Amino acid sequence: MTLEKYHYIVVEGPIGAGKTTLAQRMADRLNGALLLEKPDKNPFLQEFYNDIPRYALQTQLFFLFQRANQLQGDAQTDMFTKVTVSDFLFDKDQLFAKLTLSDAEYDLYQQVYRYLQPKATAPDLVIYLQASPATLIERVRRRGNTFEKNISEEYLWRLNESYTRFFHQYEDAPVMIINSENLNFVDSQEDFDLLLQQVSQMRGPREYFNRGI
């Protein structure tokens, strides 16, 4: 499995796509560093899902600073010494901002974002996990995280559409698009190995893998 050419791999996708689990398994397989988002550390997140307009700005700015800080210091050093696998792409912060902030809030957010953006290293590869909104909703409900219990189905639909638009235009790194509907890389070693094989065989700047039933 020739994945040694990648020093910084990002696994992305909407809530429920499986990005954290895949990032953890890939870091273990590659004996690499793991860089994970920490949504449970955001003190505004649970209230955000209860009242998005009221808590969107606080929630978004907290995540922006958290993600920027995580990509500094030791994380930057690791990217030059061994593979680092992350479950978040710094650039996707804009995706959530556009989805949840008012025009005035977005203008303020953009000022902060432009100040922080140059400090983020671009990944060598992005793995974008796709799934249908119905599948995402079922997965989120099944895992039962406290801070996710009030996520509305409408929000997940809108988020899924925003991810599709974002990665349709994204060109800052090679993107491997994986349809995760029929891939159980959580419990199936065979499916996990198949996913890694598809990634290792990637040749172009954008490829798509969809395993049929």
Per-residue CA distances from 77 to 70, 71, 74, 83, 102 (Å): 12, 10, 5, 11, 37
Residue 79 is predicted with a pLDDT of: 61
- Encode pLDDT of 109-125 as tens digits: 999 998 887 677 889 99
pLDDT in tens, 130-169: 998 888 888 888 877 777 777 888 999 999 999 999 999 9
* pLDDT for the residue 14: 94
Q: Cα 91–97–100 angle (5° rounding)?
A: 150
Structure tokens at 80: 């030059």
**Bridge partners, 179 (sequence order):** 130, 210
Calpha distance 153→18 (Å, rounded): 18
Report the predicted TM-score, pTM, of the whole model to 2 decimal places: 0.91
Tens of pLDDT, residue by residue over 53-90, are 999 999 999 999 999 888 876 555 556 567 899 999 99
pLDDT digits (tens, 9 = 90+) for 167-200: 999 999 999 999 988 888 888 899 999 999 999 8
Residue 66 dihedral angles phi and psi, to the nearest 5°? -60, -50
Please list the residues that pair with 86 across neighbouring strands: 10, 35
What are the extents of the domains in the chain?
29-131+143-185+198-210
- Looking at domain 29-131+143-185+198-210, does it have CATH number 3.30.9.10? no
Please report the pLDDT score of residue 210 as a whole number: 86
